[in-house]
Structure 1
C-alpha cells in the first residue's frame, strides 16, 4: 500500500479551472474531488476504485492505494511513501476519520446513524441536540467497527456532522451524513485492523469518506 499527498497544481491553466475543481457547494465539491482523484488512477478505464482519499483542505488530498498515483497535469508531483505500519496488540494510535456511518434498519435498508437517532428526538429539540446525538451515535458506531476490526476505542470526539447533497435531479439527489471523528484507539488484532484500514470504514468511500489516518499516540 502507498500513502500519498496530492496537491492541486498552481499553474495558471489549472487555476482557471478553480470553480469547476473547487465548487462552493459542499456536495458538488465532493463530487468534483471524486472525479479529480480518479485522474491520478485512470490508467485502466475498466478498473474499479481501489483507493481511499480525504480532502485535507487547501487543495490537498491524502490517498491510500495499492498502487502509487500516476503523474497528472492537474496535480503537482505526488508525495508518495510506502504504507506498511508494524503494529502489535496493545499499541495505541491517535486517529482522524471522516465517515459516512450507517447501520442496517429492518424495512429501511441502511440508514445514517445520526439521522436515525435524531428521529427519536422531538423535532423542536433536534437542532439544539444535534451534536450531542452525533457524539453518542458516532462513538457507538466506531466502537462497533472496532469490535469487528481489531481495535478498541479509548477516546472518540465528533468534531463535526454535516449532511451533504450530491448533484442530482429534484428529490432523487443522493444525500448522506458525514462525521468527522478523532481520538485514540488500542490495537487488539493488528492483522484485522490493517485489513480494515485498507478497505476503509463506513460508506460513501468514493466521495472522500472512510480513510482513517493514524499516528502513534
Structure 2
C-alpha cells in the first residue's frame, strides 16, 4: 500500500474544474495508474480525499495498492515547473499499529441511513444533515472499524449528550454533479471528522485504513488517515 500527497494549484482553471466535480476528480485519480488496481474480495482499494488547511492550501490525499504517477495532475492542476507529489510506503506504518495506541485522525465521509416512509415502499438512502446524527453515524461504526473515539474528561464536556468525545465536525458540504452519460444530477453530502482515537483492533483498523469507511468511496469519501497526537 502507498500513501500519496499532492498540493493542488487552485489558481488554475484545470484545478477548479476537478475540484468542482467528484466525478472528474475520480477519473483523474484512477488515471494515475497504468493498470487500475482492482479491489478483490473486499480487499484494499484506491481511496482519496481533498484536504484544506488554515493556510488556504488544498491537497489531494491518496491511498492505493499500487504506486501512482500524478504527472498528468501536476500538468493540469499543479505547478508544472516546480510541482511534485510525495508518495510513501504505507506498509511499515500499518504493521506497527497496536491496541491501545492513540492517534489523531481525519475522515471525510458520506453519512447516510436507509429510510422507508410508508409500508411497502422500498428503502431509500438519505443523508444525515444534523450534527448530532452525523456524530452518531461515526460512533456506530467505530467498534467494527477497529477503534474508539476518545472521550473527553467529564470536566471538559460542554453538554451531557452533545460534546462527550474528542471530535470536531467541519467542512460539511452538499455536492451536485453528473455522472458520465447521465442527465440527472447526483447529490452527495460530505462531512469531515477530525478527532482522536484509540486502537482497539489493529487488524480491523488496518482494513478501515486501506478499504475505507462508509459509502461514496469513489467520490472522495471513506479515507481515514492517522497522525501523531
TM-score normalised according to structure 2 size: 0.72
Q: Are 2:204 and 1:212 aligned?
A: no
Aligned to 2:125: 110
Q: Are 2:88 and 1:81 aligned?
A: yes
**Equivalents in 1 of 2:115, 2:148: separation in Å?**
24
Q: Are 2:48 and 1:56 aligned?
A: no
Q: Are 2:168 and 1:174 aligned?
A: no
Residues 119-165 of structure 1, C-alpha deviation per residue, up to 9 Å, x if partnerless? xxxxxxxxxxxxxx32x112111111112111111222111322110
**Equivalents in 2 of 1:166, 1:144: separation in Å?**
29
Aligned to 1:44: 35
Q: Which runs of 5+ in 2 are unaligned?
A: 75-82, 117-121, 151-165
Q: Which runs of 5+ in 1 are unaligned?
A: 115-132
Aligned to 1:190: 202
Structure 1 runs of 4+ off > 6 angstroms?
A: none
1:20 positional shift:
3.8
Residues 104-133 of structure 1, C-alpha deviation per residue, up to 9 Å, x if partnerless? 33432322122xxxxxxxxxxxxxxxxxx3
Instruction: Please say if residues 97 and 213 of structure 1, whose CA atoms lie closer than 8 Å, have aligned partners that are also in contact.
Output: yes
Residues 35-57 of structure 1, C-alpha deviation per residue, up to 9 Å, x if partnerless? 2222212x136957931111234
The alignment partner of 2:72 has SS state of coil
The alignment partner of 1:166 has SS state of strand
Q: Are 2:174 and 1:163 aligned?
A: yes
1:188 positional shift:
0.7
Aligned to 1:139: 135
**Equivalents in 1 of 2:51, 2:186: separation in Å?**
23
1:77 positional shift:
4.0
**Equivalents in 1 of 2:37, 2:197: separation in Å?**
37
Larger % of helix: which? 1
**Equivalents in 2 of 1:176, 1:108: separation in Å?**
18
Instruction: Please say if residues 20 and 32 of structure 1, whose CA atoms lie closer than 8 Å, have aligned partners that are also in contact.
Output: no
TM-score normalised according to structure 1 size: 0.75
The alignment partner of 1:33 has SS state of helix
Instruction: Please say if residues 9 and 74 of structure 1, whose CA atoms lie closer than 8 Å, have aligned partners that are also in contact.
Output: no
Instruction: Please say if residues 161 and 180 of structure 1, whose CA atoms lie closer than 8 Å, have aligned partners that are also in contact.
Output: yes
1:198 positional shift:
0.7
